[in-house]
Structure 1
Amino acid sequence: MSKAVAMPSTPLGRLWHKWRFHVNILLVIIPLAFMPKYFKDVSLFRGESGLGEREIGEVQVGPWSLRLAELREEGPRLEGPAGYMKSFNAALCATCIDQVKATYLRIGKPRSLRAAGAIFFGSPYRMGASLPIPPRTRAGAELWITMEGWDGSLHQASIPLAQASPATQAWLNQRGGKP
């Protein structure tokens, strides 16, 4: 006994009946197109492809040092009411892991420890910080790193923003000092 399948009576029903297989194939193929970006992001966040997309290098801060990297090689992103933010990653040197209590990052020289900037969070082997980019940041600004030791000592170092993040420098130049 064979059953006859009735064709839908509406034009939309007939169209769906005819093209449903092709639509299902598209639902499989479209996500596959985004897989390379997904796997690149996964390797970046796991640390399999280094600290970030762009390694800045070793920065000496007093007796300690850290490796610094941009998470993404792009300009700052608008994060709603917080303003524009730029993400950096860092890894402490092997000898200073037990000595460093906290590490901070800021654009412009901090006035005190209370204004030291964004704190790095995470394991000492891979720490992350989201740095706010002030609206009136000048093109020749410096990125200041402050490290606080368990013994209460403070050490600071600076690197030019153009060296730390050329993409942010280009973004600032493009904005032309607009708030």
Structure 2
Amino acid sequence: MTMRWARFKYHVNAALLLLPLYFLVTTLMGTEAEGSATSLAPKSVGPWQVAPKAAGHWPPRPGQELDMTVRFDGGPVAQIRTAVLTIGDQAPAATDLLSPTAGLLHGGEVLREAHVPVPAAMPTNAELWLTVERWDGSLHHVSWGLDTP
């Protein structure tokens, strides 16, 4: 019995060393590796082609927070002053861009992320709105329906 345990304990030690590495790799790869990210149709907003992705549950659940990433392609990203994602029946006004109901996009040059609060009482015609403000003050809006990705 002791000889069997002597061989088996090395396998247990190897598993204890390798399991944390497996969980580290899957954590660093994020939700895209699991296939749970929902890509929305790419659209144009101003000079940019945007492709948003929802990490987690789609469509968004009322009262929860929606994690989104948005990829900006085809235009000078340095011209973006503010970009926000909101959920509602209309695009936000220029004065509402920094309100608590808007998810401010932050991140790198091309790929940015936002944590969008989902209203507890969503209107029946609610959409996901991306609003981009340029440094010259002009606003660009684009929306996606919440029912289809």
1 CA distance for matches of 2:30 and 2:108?
16
Matched, 1:133 2:118: yes
Shift of 1:33: 8.0
**Deviations along 1:13-63, whole A, 9 cap, x unmatched?**
xxxxxxxx97xx38944972882x642331238x8x6xx822223221133
Question: Please, what TM-score do these two structures have when normalized by structure 1?
Answer: 0.60
Q: Shift in Å at residue 123 of structure 1?
A: 0.8
CA RMSD of aligned residues (A): 3.5
Q: Where does structure 1 differ by over 4 angstroms across 4 or more consecutive aligned residues?
A: 26-31, 73-78
Greater share of helix: 1
Shift of 1:72: 2.7
**Structure 2: where are the runs of 5+ without partners?**
1-7
* Structure having the higher Rg: 1
Distance across 1 between alignment mates of 2:64 and 2:14: 35
Q: TM-score, normalized by length of structure 2?
A: 0.70
Give the structure with the larger strand fraction.
2
Q: Specify which of 127, 140, 145 is matched with residue 160 of structure 1.
A: 145
Distance 1:33 1:75 in 2: 33
2:115 aligned partner, one-letter code: S
Corresponding residue for residue 48 of structure 2: 64
Of the two structures, which has the highest relative contact order with CA contacts closer than 8 Å and spacing of 6 or more? 2
Contact between 1:59 and 1:68, CA under 8 Å: does it hold in 2? no
Aligned length: 135
